[in-house]
Amino acid sequence: MNISNKLMLIVILTTAEVSITVFSAFEIAKGAKFHQLNFLHLKYINQLTKTVKKIKNDTPVDINTIEFDILAIKQQPIDCLDEVNYLNRVIMKVIKTDQALTICENDIEIADKALLSVTQYKKGELSRDDFLLNLNVALDGFNQHSEMFEEPIRKTVSFILITLIPLVLIISLFNIILISYLSRTISSSIRNLTILLTSKPEDSTNLDDELDKNTTGELKALVIAARQRIKDDLLNIENSIELKAIVNSQTASLQQANDELAQFAYRASHDLKSPLSGAKSLAQFVIQDIEAGDIEEACQNAKIIYQQMEKLETLVVDILLLAKADIGNENEELIDFNQLITDMEERLAWLMKDNPCTLTTNINLSTPIKSEKARFAQIIENLISNGLKYYDTNKDAPYVHCDIFNEQETFNITVTDNGIGIPDKHQSEVFDMFKRFHVEASSGSGLGMALVKKHIEYLDGEISLQSSNSGTTFKITIPMDKLR
């Protein structure tokens, strides 16, 4: 049973107990009132007896006093009948004390008759003797009724005392037992719940089972609501912790990006500045040469200016490519890798000319690759051009080999050379911007590998390198899902 139902039962029982007690008190008080009325009845009978005696002795008497006395005598049975309700009538009938009511009715009847005699006597319709006789008959009746009235009233009151008081006592006793039982069950379920909640169950499913077994009603609802509230609060705390972690990591990566940007701006402007100032001074020489008429020298310097400008152009192009690498800017298309290699060889003609390296490529794809062609062109071109640039002059047969193939889940590019390799201590910096470890071997912007890395990250792929002084291998894997 729910706690609220138990409490409601206690309230109902207590209300019944109080109502019956109050009812009994009223009924007992009613008995007392009947005795009091009967006492008054006797008093007025006595008064009337004295008056009748005076008439008998020919003492002058105001006839209105007799009328007043009879009316006073008649009032008590009327009051008695007014007090008696339907329930009283039923009880009196059952316990056979209802003659008290008949007595009252008869008493009123006698009083009415006596009043009629008074009226007739006043009008002179009744002789003095008859009038006295009638009054004496009435007095007898009144006296008799007063005597008879006490008995049934006493019986009725004692019946009420005998029945209602034990009933009240029984209900009170029952109430006390029930209240103590209910309060014990309520406190024991609270105690059990407290033990359950403080006993650290192994896991939360255990606690759920235990709650189902041991708790019902409002307590269960209360615990479930409290647990839900705590869960929600914890979730909010977790969310705010997660949010803080996200904000922290984003702040850190923003900070890093900011630092990289500052470094990039510094390095880029530095690398842009040297060919520009070189070209500027050379242009000055060209002017002087032309003024001095030394056209040959002027041509020589102009050629150097041209080379410087080419370098500058490469750098600017690389910076632009790097800036574009983070955003998907081209349409995806099926890539023809044979054509891509042919185009690349054309672009690298300047590097391949007079280069002792042998470039071989092997393309083995079982499924078409769909992506942004420019990204793959830049990746492959950078890896191959590095192999060609940083070959080992001491080796008899320098080579660069590029393998393009796919497996079930991955697309792979491997570029291997037997060049000079990358010193161990610099291998972790290969993908950083402007990092160059063989400045004397060949020219370049130092942005190629950073660009490759950005493309691979964009495609969710991975790049690794193995390098020693006998050569370098770059391995790239990209999930096929990104390329369908």
Ligand X SMILES: Nc1ncnc2c1ncn2[C@@H]1O[C@H](COP(=O)(O)OP(=O)(O)O)[C@@H](O)[C@H]1O
Which residue ranges make up the site for Mg ion (CB under 5 A)?
Answer: 386, 444, 448
Report the sign of the C-alpha dihedral through residues 403, 407, 411, 414, in that order: negative
- Within residues 107-146, the interface with ligand X by CB under 6 A covers none
Contact with ligand X (CB under 6 A) among 386, 406, 418, 477: 386
Residue 341 touching ligand X (CB under 6 A)? no
Q: Is the Cβ of residue 59 or residue 464 nearer to ligand X in the bound state?
A: 464
When asked if residue 414 is in the footprint of ligand X (CB under 6 A), the reply is no
Sole window of 129-137, 260-268, 325-333, 414-422 interacting with ligand X (rule: CB under 6 A): 414-422
SS (H, E, C) 103-170: HHHHHHHHHHHHHHHHHHHHHCCCCHHHHHHHHHHHHHHHHHHHHHHHHHHHHHHHHHHHHHHHHHHH
> Which of the stretches 79-87, 123-131, 288-296, 416-424 binds ligand X when contact is defined by CB under 6 A?
416-424
Report in angstroms how near the CB of residue 422 gets to ligand X at its nearest.
5
Instruction: Examine residue 422 and tell whether it contacts ligand X (CB under 6 A).
Output: yes
CA distances from 249 to 246, 258, 387, 453, 457 (A): 5, 14, 37, 21, 19
Q: Are 32 and 158 in contact (CB under 8 A)?
A: no
Both tokens of 77, joined, read: 């049975």
Per CB under 6 A, does 475 bind ligand X?
A: no
**Shortest reach from residue 321's CB to ligand X, in Å:** 12
Nearest residue to ligand X by CB is 444
CA 474, 482, 410, 340 torsion-angle sign: negative
Contact window for ligand X (CB under 6 A) among 100-108, 265-273, 329-337, 385-393:
385-393
Q: Does 482 contact ligand X by CB under 6 A?
A: no
Binds ligand X (CB under 6 A): choice among 449, 456, 459, 476: 449
Strands 410-417 and 471-479: antiparallel
* CB of residue 437 to ligand X, shortest distance in Å: 3
Residue 378 interacting with ligand X (CB under 6 A) = no
**Binding flag, residue 436, ligand X (CB under 6 A):** yes
Identify the CA nearest to 179 among candidates 58, 42, 303, 9.
Answer: 9
The residue (of 302 and 422) whose beta carbon lies closer to Mg ion is 422
**In terms of CB distance, is 152 or 444 closer to ligand X?**
444
Q: Select from ligand X, Mg ion, none the partner in contact with residue 472, using the beta carbon and a kind-dependent cut-off of 5 to 8 Å.
A: ligand X
The alpha-helical segments, DSSP class H, found in 293-399 are 295-324, 337-347, 349-352, 373-389
C-alpha closest to that of 18 among 168, 139, 131: 168
SS3 category, 446 = coil
Angle between helices 63-83 and 99-123 (to 10 degrees): 160
User: Nearest approach, Cβ of 257 to ligand X (angstroms)?
Assistant: 19
| Number of residues counted as binding ligand X (CB under 6 A) | 22
Residue 469: strand, helix, or coil: coil
Cα dihedral 120→124→125→131 (10° resolution)? 60
C-beta of 141 vs 419, nearer to ligand X: 419
Binding site for ligand X (CB under 6 A): 382, 386-387, 390, 417, 419-422, 430, 435-438, 444-450, 472
